[in-house]
């Protein structure tokens, strides 16, 4: 079956197309070059905007902490049940939607992939079981390393770069992960020894290693293994005024190796001004602009009730006093990492929250290369992913942005440079930061673009001046060539896939890991390892190439 998507304005930055009118051809779920034959079906897209399916590079959609957040957000689920309707199964939630609701809401916004950025090795099987229950979108997980006692012990033992890389490669493969994440490297582990703060160059408890060493070792391992996505770093001192210094330190720590700084809005705070809380977006953006090996996602906050869920127990314990409603959970997990869940309400009339909002937007507007900055709210930590269309409008419409700014705490404009930033994102730049760039960063060769061979994840929009309305409700969404959404209504269900890497490594490391599992973990290594047939019942695993030394 050959389908022709005819005459749309195609925004496909990976192919250098910026709104030129053209045709797309879809056969067997893939984009193909014009075969020169009569299509079986032609869909007229004249005047419509056409993009690849959007990709969320950082969204907490599955796993233990997400389920804990759902449990803790009992009020939200009581208030916002979702009734089964047509193809959509029941569920509920806004900040912590249930699995089916997650898939449907993403798909209805034109997203065809979202990646869980904090999968703990010990919880990976759970995360995969849960991700398999999210329909319509592709998923994958980033493995959290750098607080696991095994890694810290290996590093402290003086193991060389090769052995470290072997460990990382083995763990990525065993847990069916796509990338390596590190969360407050060393800090989560230190919290288990009652340290409430750990600076980049402070020697941690027990293993006696500095976060700087952990960071450098992980970044080097990722490069050595050739994992496409750089080390995905949740940095130090999240949410603490003045943490910009630690953020810049962590960039320096990897010494020029590729690095992705995630939800950097939460790590871009200074201590200037009468309130000792200021925007350091300019410093961060300048660093990003002059460092081509660096990418970021923003973690924009939007106002309203949400819940923060993070592996960063050290930071979450520190933030627990801000919980709204007043309840929170912290868990130490399995000599691996942890999780902290703190409900939070961002208030537009609160100076700190309003400035956080402005800092996020400043980062978006000051970083010049849309290939190295990704659109995220760190769902649900800054806001639910369903606020993306509103965020896109803020980026594309300066008048709207200024009108919103005027509604906030009155001291905010004087404490930031947002009023002076005239930039408005173009459709091409939005397509880059939500499609082409995340796909390239993750190494998903056949996603995020519309060239021949790509998966036919295609989204069709009506070009409306109200960009929120435009991006909220695409006209058509195709997943692997199949029409799944028409005018916001699900018309077909499709299963997603799970994207992984299996980097080459010396299997001899397994004996070392096995001895420690036997001695400590109360679990056999053979049972820890997730076999390929466990992922989506053996149907839907997509392996991506690693290219050692290819940066």
Partner 1 sequence: MATHCDVVCPFCGLGCDDLTVEEDAGRLAVRSTDCPVARERFGHTPPAEPPRVGGRPASFDDAVRAAAEILWTSRAPLVAGLGTDVAGVRAALALAERVGAVVDHERSEGLYRNLAVFQRSGWIATTFAELRNRCDLLLVVGPDPAALHPRFYERWVVPPPALQAPALREVVFLCGEPLETTRAALGEVPFTVIPGDATQIGAVAAALSTALTDPTGAAPGIAGLAERLRAAHYAVVAWAAAGFPGAHADLAVERLVRLVQDVNRQTRCAGLPLAGYDNVVGANQVCTWQLGVPLRTSLAGGAPRHDPHRFAWERFQHAADAVLWISAFRPEMPAFATGKAVVALAQPGTAFAAEPAVVIPVGTPGIDHAAHVFRGDSIVALRTGHLIDRGLPDVAAVLSAITAALPQEASC
Output Rg (C-alpha) for the chain, integer angstroms: 22
Residues in 183-242 at the binding interface with partner 1, rule: CB under 8 A: 191-194, 206
Is residue 341 part of the contact set for partner 1 (CB under 8 A)?
Answer: yes
The minimum distance between CB 95 and partner 1, in angstroms, equals 11
Closest C-alpha among 354, 376, 366 to residue 260: 376
Is residue 275 part of the contact set for partner 1 (CB under 8 A)?
Answer: no
CA atoms within 13 A on the CB side of 461: 27
**Segment contacting partner 1 by CB under 8 A, of 422-430, 477-485, 506-514, 529-537:** 529-537
Is residue 316 part of the contact set for partner 1 (CB under 8 A)?
Answer: no
Count of residues in contact with partner 1, rule CB under 8 A:
65
Residue in 2, 21, 87, 129 binding partner 1, rule: CB under 8 A? 129
| Nearer of residues 126 and 347 to partner 1, judged by Cβ | 126
Q: Do 463 and 508 meet the contact criterion of CB atoms below 8 Å apart? A: no
Is residue 515 part of the contact set for partner 1 (CB under 8 A)?
Answer: no
The minimum distance between CB 192 and partner 1, in angstroms, equals 6
The CB density around residue 84, as the number of other CB atoms within 10 Å, is 10
The minimum distance between CB 64 and partner 1, in angstroms, equals 5
Q: Do 332 and 206 meet the contact criterion of CB atoms below 8 Å apart? A: no
Whole-Å CA distances, 19 to 181, 311, 428, 474, 539: 35, 41, 7, 16, 36
Is residue 387 part of the contact set for partner 1 (CB under 8 A)?
Answer: no
| Nearer of residues 2 and 129 to partner 1, judged by Cβ | 129
What would the 3-class secondary structure string for 114-136 be? ECEEEECHHHHHHHHHHHCCCCC
Q: End-to-end alpha-carbon separation of the chain, Å?
A: 39
Residue in 78, 290, 422, 511 binding partner 1, rule: CB under 8 A? 78
Is residue 98 part of the contact set for partner 1 (CB under 8 A)?
Answer: yes
| Nearer of residues 33 and 519 to partner 1, judged by Cβ | 519
Using CB atoms within 10 Å of the CB of residue 105, give its burial: 0 to 12 exposed, 13 to 18 middle, 19+ buried: buried
Helix H or strand E segment including 337: strand 337-346
Is residue 82 part of the contact set for partner 1 (CB under 8 A)?
Answer: yes
Is residue 96 part of the contact set for partner 1 (CB under 8 A)?
Answer: yes
Q: Do 322 and 301 meet the contact criterion of CB atoms below 8 Å apart? A: no
Is residue 462 part of the contact set for partner 1 (CB under 8 A)?
Answer: no
- DSSP designation for 266: G
Binding site for partner 1 (CB under 8 A): 62, 64, 66-68, 70-72, 74, 77-78, 81-85, 89-93, 96-101, 120, 122-123, 125-126, 129-130, 133, 149, 191-194, 206, 317, 323, 327-336, 341, 519-524, 526-527, 530-531, 534
């Amino acid at each position: 079956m050959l389908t022709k998507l005819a005459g749309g304005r195609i925004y496909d930055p990976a192919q250098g197309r910026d709104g030129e009118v053209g045709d797309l051809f879809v056969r067997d779920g893939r984009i193909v070059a014009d075969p020169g034959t009569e299509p079986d079906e032609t869909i007229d897209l004249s005047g419509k905007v056409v993009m690849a399916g959007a990709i969320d590079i950082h969204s907490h959609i599955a796993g233990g902490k997400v389920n804990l957040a759902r449990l803790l957000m009992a009020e939200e689920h009581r208030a916002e049940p979702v009734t089964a309707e047509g193809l959509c199964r029941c569920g509920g939630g806004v900040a912590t939607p249930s699995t089916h609701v997650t898939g449907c809401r993403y798909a209805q916004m034109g997203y065809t992939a979202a990646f869980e950025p904090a999968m703990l090795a010990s919880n990976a099987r759970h995360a995969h079981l849960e991700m398999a229950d999210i329909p319509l979108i592709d998923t994958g997980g980033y493995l959290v390393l750098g607080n696991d006692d095994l890694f810290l012990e290996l590093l402290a033992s003086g193991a060389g770069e090769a052995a470290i890389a072997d460990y990382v490669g083995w763990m990525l493969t065993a847990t069916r992960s796509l990338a390596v994440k590190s969360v407050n490297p060393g800090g989560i582990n230190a919290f288990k020894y009652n340290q409430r703060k750990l600076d980049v160059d402070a020697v941690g408890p027990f293993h006696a290693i500095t976060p700087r060493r952990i960071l450098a070792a992980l970044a080097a391992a990722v490069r050595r293994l050739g994992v496409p996505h750089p080390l995905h770093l949740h940095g130090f001192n999240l949410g603490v005024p003045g943490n910009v210094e630690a953020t810049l330190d962590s960039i320096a720590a990897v010494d020029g190796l590729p690095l992705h700084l995630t939800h950097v809005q939460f790590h871009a705070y200074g201590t200037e001004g009468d309130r000792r809380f200021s925007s350091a977006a300019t410093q961060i953006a300048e660093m990003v602009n002059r460092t081509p090996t660096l990418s970021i996602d923003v973690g924009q906050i939007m106002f309203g009730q949400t819940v923060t869920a993070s592996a960063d127990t050290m930071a979450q314990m520190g933030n627990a006093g801000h919980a709204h409603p007043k309840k929170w959970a912290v868990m130490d997990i399995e000599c691996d990492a942890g999780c902290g869940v703190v409900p939070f309400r961002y208030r537009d009339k609160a100076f700190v929250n309003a400035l956080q909002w402005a800092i996020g937007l400043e980062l978006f507007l000051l970083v010049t290369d849309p290939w190295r900055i990704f659109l995220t709210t760190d769902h649900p930590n800054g806001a639910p992913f369903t606020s993306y269309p509103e965020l896109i409008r803020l980026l594309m419409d300066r008048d709207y942005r200024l009108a919103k700014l005027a509604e906030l705490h009155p001291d905010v404009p004087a404490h930031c440079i947002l009023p002076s930033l005239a930039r408005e994102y173009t459709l091409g730049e939005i397509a880059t930061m939500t499609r082409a760039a995340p796909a390239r960063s993750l190494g998903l060769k056949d996603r995020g673009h519309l060239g021949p061979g790509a998966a036919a994840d295609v989204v069709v929009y009506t070009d409306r001046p109200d960009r929120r309305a435009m991006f909220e409700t695409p006209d058509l969404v195709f997943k692997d060539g199949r029409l799944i959404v028409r005018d916001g209504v699900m018309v077909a269900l499709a299963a997603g896939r799970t994207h992984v890497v299996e980097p080459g490594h010396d299997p001899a490391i397994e004996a070392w890991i096995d001895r420690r599992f036997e001695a400590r973990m109360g679990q056999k290594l053979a049972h820890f390892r997730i076999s390929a047939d466990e992922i989506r019942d053996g149907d839907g695993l997509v392996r991506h190439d690693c290219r050692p030394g290819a940066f």
